[in-house]
Amino acid sequence: MRRALLLLGSPKAGASTSGSLGTYLLLRLGEHGLEGGQRRVGEVLRAPGGLDELAEAVERADLLVLSFPLYVDSLPAPMIRCLEALAARRPGSSSEGAPRFVAIVNSGFPEASQCDTALEICRRFAFEAGFPWAGGLALGGGAAVDGRPLERAGGMVRNVRAALDLAAEALARGEPVPEEAVRLMARPLAPRWFYLFMGNLRWKRAARKHGTLRRLHDRPYL
């Protein structure tokens, strides 16, 4: 049976949007006959021998899926650490027999295009480490998903589900992520003004809860 391995890059211990996207894709791949497994980057790095175990799991897989949040226009540092280790274990490797590689990135900014550089870095990793690049998907406004399973996140994420459905079908056939899936995933989840309004409200609510509303603009390093 063919295997898909999901590597989750969110540093959050609990539910995350990266998890929502990655596990949904894994479920859909399962319907197309791919057995799924997943690893969390944080756990891989903390476990003794975790990177070796990850490298072995990657070698056994037919498809490697990275799902991560955009951090400073790129991948979170622990995910880069994992990719550095995977690449170091495959010096000068040919891509023959290596799992195909697909990346899903979600950003707190509403524009999916802000993920472009992170996807370029993923593509470069695939090229340098000898994994056939199967494409990337970028979601803007990922905070609106807030770690909920996509099946229960309502109509707001219908394009996200459709994008991942299309991607799963194509990936299971051995094809790259279709352009239509990329376009659907990049569609805004909500009008920008609404997302900004809700986003700014979210910070104020959190500050009120922590009793820091009047200190939100503090400059402790001046």
Partner 1 sequence: MADEAYVLDGAREGDSAAEPVAGELLRRLGDAGWRAEAVRLREVEIAPCIGCFGCWTKTPGRCFRDDGAAEVARRAIRSGLLVYVTSVTFGGYASPLKKALDRMICLVSPFFQVVDGEVHHRPRYPRYPRLLGVGVAEGEDGERDRVFETLVHRNAINLHAQRWAAGVVRSDAPEDRRRVRLDELVRRVGGPP
Beta bridge partners of 136: 103
Q: Residue 74, interface with partner 1 (CB under 8 A)?
A: yes
Count CB atoms within 10 A of the CB of residue 181: 23
Beta bridge partners of 102: 65, 135
- Show the site string, 76-95: x = touches partner 1 by CB under 8 A, - = not: xxx-xx-xx--x--------
In the bound state with partner 1, the residue whose beta carbon lies nearer, of 1 and 221, is: 221
Residue 89 phi/psi, 5-degree rounding, is: -85, -5
Q: Residue 46, interface with partner 1 (CB under 8 A)?
A: no
Q: Which stretch binds partner 1 (CB under 8 A): 48-56, 89-97, 120-128, 174-182?
A: 120-128
Q: Which of 48, 49, 72, 97 is close enough to bind partner 1 by CB under 8 A? A: 72
Least Cα distance to 16 among 41, 48, 44 occurs for: 41
Contact yes or no for 178/170 (Cβ under 8 A): yes
Alpha-carbon span 66 to 36, nearest angstrom:
13
Q: Residue 124, interface with partner 1 (CB under 8 A)?
A: yes
- Give the residues lining the site for partner 1 (CB under 8 A): 10-13, 16, 42, 69, 71-78, 80-81, 83-84, 87, 109-111, 113-114, 117, 120-122, 124-125, 128, 192, 196, 199-200, 203, 206-207, 209-210, 212, 215-222
